[in-house]
Chains A and B, each alone.
Chain A
Amino acid sequence: MTSLIQPGEAEALLQAAINGELPDERGRFGPFGGRYVPETLVPAFERLEAGVREHLHDPQFQAEYQRELREWVGRPTALTHAPRLSERWGADVWLKREDLAHTGAHKINNAIGQALLAKRLGVERVIAETGAGQHGVASAAACARVGLPCAVYMGAVDIERQAPNVDRMRRLGAEVIAVESGDKTLRAAIDEALRKWVTDPAGIYYLLGSAVGAHPYPYLVRELQSVIGRESREQMIEQAGGLPDAAFACVGGGSNAIGLFYPLLGDDIELIGVEAGGTGSGLGQNAATLATGTPGVLQGSYTMILQDGDGQVQETHSISAGLDYSGVGPEHALLQATGRVRYVAASDGDALAALEELCETEGILTALETSHAYVAAREWAKENPGKRLLIGNSGRGDKDMPTLTKFPVKVRGHASA
């Protein structure tokens, strides 16, 4: 992997990342990223890029965005000390509570930002893709908020296993379109949304949900999610008395992780991204793209992907639909290659156990995606006793009840027993 970056280049690239110089003009994070899209979509991407350049850092746009984050999303989200978990782990554990944001996950930070941008660009309608349904729900809500019609592409398999979120999207006014092509999950939904965008690139805004895909999406989504890391930084100093020794986030496409990590890159903090280890290390048994993948081009970006020797992208497995993706954001590929962030995998079983432990110790039902971060944090705490940890609690687990119901609750000595 590191062979993609010349010796000595890693430090300069990392410094460029810290200084906010990446992506470069071609949408590259070192060797990763870029824009591999059909010619039919080139004008649409150029229009989007120009729109991002014009509006994203415009003071008026930012004022509007910040007001929506404050008054509608409910930011800043809390930083919660976890005393009972800390005692168990022998560490000082802090949780950044994105589960408390409107619609229940960090996804809304990006969705409302892009919906405001879509409005400014004067499009007629918005399309989005979704896997677990969290980004679909966030997009439906954000589009209702700004007054734009929204259609959400969702794999037929995911529609089946995420029925409550499908109903939420529809109630929020979105049209949910079942994707019957490909693997009928998130990857197919992205392909289908791109196919739809091609038919009317000027009238449609494609509201992509993660820090993946062709430039400028990885940049745009990072900018909108970085509020997580900026708030965490301030809150840690204020509430915990200093920055953490290590920070953890789960990684599927990687939007919550880049949002947490990006503002912390220049600090002396160990950063650890946790992918879905699924049921094993074989191809198809997990979604641990950075831990087990190889570089290639998927859905517009040169990044780490799960593929076979012929360059065919492989299906993934994870207990959490939100991490079930064969690619990953290109900036994570760079952060891995430079050694700044370490990426590890947590298994389905360990994630379930972590979810249960957090319920028991802190009264927080976290998302199955987020549970993966706790697995790695716990292991790190064991090896580094007495240290201060920050965990990105990216979403709440209410949506996972249909899955969780299949696993019996461990008896914990209830008061009535």
Chain B
Amino acid sequence: MPILTKRPNKTPLGIYIHVPFCRSKCQYCDFYSLATKDDSLIDGFLDAVCDHIKEAGELAPGYKVDTVYFGGGTPSFFGGDGMAEILNTIRRNFDVVSDAEITFEANPDSVSDRLLRRLRAEGFNRASLGIQSDSDEMLKKLGRPHTYAQAVSAYQKIRKAGFRNVSVDLMYGLPGQSLQDWLSTLDTVLRLLPEHISCYGLKIEEGTPFWGMRDVLNLPGDDEQAEMYLSAVEALRSRGFRQYEISNFCRKGMISRHNMKYWTGGEYLGFGPSASSDFAGKRYTLKRDLQAYINGIRDGGDIMEDIQEIPLRERAGEYLMLRLRTSVGIAAQEYEKAFLLPFAPLEEVLEKHRRYYHTTQTDTGRWVLTPRGYLVSNDVITDLLLAQDQSEPMKRI
């Protein structure tokens, strides 16, 4: 029986597919993926995801879907036939709107003209290419299975296949990297004229190969990384890119609509091992284990790693934590209306941080972080969360 019918279908859903396959594991990566192209696993995954989508479609009939995102892992390595089959399954079970944003992630070593033509024909309209660096030496250090020349060639193939919305991923704060190195990487890559750029500061995560080497990696210090970040923001701004999130920049109107859902409280369903969903008031994450996921779907067993019903009070915290990552920011009326909590205590904190040029207000009075504020956003957000903790629900609305 459908359990999710009572919600009006006004706000469309996002759908995320986690494709847990890669050619090889990068030294810094802590996403769930397997360095394999084992046929039985690939087939098992494909069947499980498609069955899972069907199941979900029955539970949530008639939902409009306006973004689909294939991430990973490396979807391009997984291949066009599989992605097409999954996308078609989504279309059959959900109402994918005609102008939906349909993104796939690709690595330079696994894109071919054939793959790209196939995806374009299936309706994919946005590509996100992992370039990371323009230095072959650095790419090697990072454990990336490609050169910069391959990245350029992949980019050109994507363009040739007709994709007009292309994003590239870059990283800064890399081992031995100087501010000059970084700015020159940015300069080189910008010559490709992408519509969208994500710039991520390298974070050494526990459980990755880099973790054990962190003391000998010669990583730039915090102050240097801060410089890298602020110079990148400035360089991108001067070339006409808008910063719409801490690590994301785009040409006008070219934001990632799918990712924006994560930061603005939109609903999304995730499929595949380790994928997360936020749907019908619950946030849940699927098991970080492909075989367990496959078995769970096949046998009707448990596939959840974690599921939580998020109370309104906690949503109010998420509103601050997530929206302030973006140029959308937060606003008094919107906040008070949604959570019945007073904005005044937050305003005090925001004013305090305005003195350090961390926060500012837009023409319409919305509070947003400045680039400097993004850099210390944890500090600002935790200050706000503290003020929120101490605030009493509003007596008058």
A binds B: no
Seen from chain A, the residues whose Cβ lies within 8 Å of a Cβ on chain B are: none
